[in-house]
Copies of this chain bind each other. A is one copy, B any other.
Amino acid sequence: MNISHEPKVFESRLGRVRAIMAEKNVDALILSVGHDLPYLTGYQAMPLERLTLLIVPRDGTTSMLIPRLEAPRVVDMPSVFTLVPWSETDDPVAMAARLIGGARTIAVGDQMWARFLVELLAHLPSATYTRAVDIVGPLRRVKDAAEIAALQRASAAVDRIAAQLHAGDIALIGCTEAQVSAELSARIIAEGHDKVNFAIVAAGENAASPHHHAGSRVIREGEIVLCDFGGTMAGYCSDITRCVYVGDIPADIADAYAVLKSAQATGVAAGKIGVSCESIDAATREVIVAGGYGEYFVHRTGHGIGMEEHEDPYIVQGNATLLEAGHAYSVEPGIYVPGKWGMRLEDIVVATTSGPLSLNNTSHELVSVVA
């Protein structure tokens, strides 16, 4: 399901991780559920109660603790890690504590289940715990050529679905949001993704809730319909938002959308190497504020994307990270008028030495559909 990698890719990543550990004085890195683990080993832990844990000491052998019944799932790479299977009556956290040994500073994977950290605290109470994102994040956020190609393929797939939406190929009138969401989900798979991550469909006043859960509300004529959807293809994510209007677009909606479209284009264009992430947010926001809708843009401008839908770098006030070639992120301003309507426009962008490269290229217009 993922980009296939040779052990040497993982050896190189692990070498760079260890260099950052040395620089930041971190003695051990521990990774479980989440995407740092497959980024460094090719293996993704099952999100279950049996602990899978990669333990990377600053020097010495990297170990992967794994439930014995899941060991056959792992592609063993002795040059990258040593597999340590544990049995049903073993205590895997005690085993982890022994493997971590005398580490004073331990960096913990962001999405590891808290229960394992709570149990580890009892074994190693005097250690200092920090976030693994400070170690693995700087690597993961700079995508290499194979990763950018994977993001491009996934983006092209959701672009095709957005074009189908614009063309009126997806039934809207009389359908519930949930039905349209199911149809988008089916098309996400049909267009080549392995997994649907989300398919937000929000009609009329529901579009004013940015993370609306598609429900039983029926779509009618004379409404805006916001569609925000994405999946995972060969290990990398897509994410796009387009709005359509069912019927003739009223003047107030058209005016607001013109501001939104201009803000989004400004945000994309601002993505030059060396600028701060927060300056991209500011440039985007400024257009919406100048257009008179500032109070209705209630979220950050975007998020990094890669193996995860949301990852570093975040395009948000307060993030002074400077844009580097290979950073991939969304630019997705929105305008949400509570109780009335909402709209958002989103592309995925990669920073390159020749300027921002938008991976989504379906029409950015608010298309009027009769479907």
A313 at the interface (CB under 8 A from B): no
User: A217 at the A/B interface (Cβ < 8 Å)?
Assistant: no
A70 to chain B: closest residue by CB: B211
Say whether B73 contacts A310, CB under 8 Å. no
Residue from the set A116, A211, A316 with the largest chain B CB neighbour count within 10 Å: A211
Closest CB of chain B to A53's CB: distance in Å? 11
Expressed in whole angstroms, the minimum distance between the Cβ of A127 and any Cβ of chain B is 10
Contact A212 B73 (CB under 8 A): yes
Residues of B within 8 A of A118 (CB): 108, 117, 129-131
Q: Which residues of B contact A160 (CB under 8 A)?
A: none
Given the interface pairs A115-B133, A118-B131, the reply to whether A299 lies near B69 with Cβ below 8 Å is yes
CB contacts (< 8 Å) of A131 on chain B: these are: 115, 118-119
CA distance A213 to B111 in the complex (A): 22
- For residue A318, give the distance in angstroms from its CB to the closest CB of chain B: 6
Residue of B nearest to A278 (CB): B89
Q: Find residues 203-223 in chain A having any chain B CB closer than 8 Å to their own CB.
A: 208-213
A239 to chain B, nearest CB (A): 12
Bin the interface of chain A by size. 35 or more
Confirm or deny: A282 has a beta carbon within 8 angstroms of a beta carbon on chain B: no
CA distance A89 to B208 in the complex (A): 20
List B contacts of A252 (CB < 8 A). none
Does A59 have its Cβ within 8 Å of any Cβ on chain B? no
- A113 / chain B contacts, CB cutoff of 8 Å: 110-112, 114
Nearest CB of chain B from residue A93's CB, rounded to whole Å? 11
Q: Which residues of B contact A73 (CB under 8 A)?
A: 209, 211-213
Contacts A88-B299, A318-B89 known; A69 to B211 CB distance under 8 Å? Answer: yes
A109 nearest in chain B by CB position: B114
Tell me, yes or no, whether A23 is within 8 Å of chain B by CB.
no
For A209, what are the chain B residues with a Cβ–Cβ distance below 8 Å? 69, 72-73
Chain A positions near chain B (C-beta within 8 angstroms): 46, 48-49, 68-70, 72-73, 87-89, 108-119, 121, 129-131, 133, 208-213, 298-300, 303, 310, 316-318
Can you report 29 A-B residue pairs in the complex whose CB atoms are below 8 A from each other? A48-B310, A49-B110, A68-B298, A68-B299, A69-B209, A69-B210, A69-B298, A69-B299, A72-B208, A72-B209, A72-B211, A73-B209, A73-B211, A87-B298, A88-B298, A88-B299, A88-B317, A108-B114, A108-B115, A111-B113, A111-B114, A112-B113, A112-B114, A114-B114, A115-B131, A115-B133, A118-B130, A118-B131, A121-B129
